[in-house]
A = this chain, B = another copy of it.
Amino acid sequence: MPFKGFRVRFATTNKGKLREISLLLSEYSLEVEAVEAEKLEIQDDEIIRIAEYAASDLAGRLGYPVAVEDSGLHIEALNGFPGPYSSYIYRSIGLKGVLKLLEGVEDRRGFFESVVAYAEPDGRVRSFRGIAWGWISQAARGTGGFGFDPIFIPEEGDGRTFAEMTLEEKNRLSHRGRAMRSFGEWITSTQA
Chain A interfacial positions (CB closer than 8 Å to B): 40-43, 45, 50, 78-85, 88-89, 91-93, 97, 100-101, 103
Partner of A79, one of B40, B85, B92: B92
B88, A83: Cβ atoms under 8 Å?
A: yes
Q: Give the interface centre of A42, A45, A81, A103 by most chain B CB atoms within 10 Å.
A: A81
Report Cα–Cα, A84/B84, bound state, in Å: 13
A91, B79: Cβ atoms under 8 Å?
A: yes
Which of chain B's residues has its CB closest to A96's CB? B101
A43, B85: Cβ atoms under 8 Å?
A: yes
Report Cα–Cα, A101/B40, bound state, in Å: 30
Q: How many copies does the complex hold?
A: 2
What B residues does A45 contact at CB under 8 A? 88
Q: A85-B88, A93-B101 are known contacts; what are 19 more A-B pairs with Cβ within 8 Å?
A: A40-B42, A41-B43, A42-B42, A42-B43, A43-B43, A43-B50, A43-B88, A78-B97, A79-B93, A81-B93, A81-B97, A82-B92, A83-B88, A83-B92, A85-B85, A89-B89, A97-B101, A100-B100, A100-B101
Report Cα–Cα, A80/B91, bound state, in Å: 10
Report Cα–Cα, A80/B85, bound state, in Å: 14
How distant is A103 from chain B, measured CB to nearest CB, in Å?
Answer: 7
Partner of A81, one of B41, B43, B80, B89: B89
Q: Across chains A and B, which 3 residue pairs bring their CB atoms closest together, nearest first? A: A81-B92, A41-B43, A79-B92
Partner of A92, one of B80, B92, B103: B80
Report Cα–Cα, A40/B42, bound state, in Å: 7
Report Cα–Cα, A97/B103, bound state, in Å: 11
- 14 residue pairs A–B, Cβ–Cβ below 8 Å: A42-B42, A43-B50, A78-B92, A78-B97, A79-B91, A79-B92, A83-B88, A84-B88, A85-B88, A89-B89, A93-B101, A97-B101, A100-B100, A101-B101
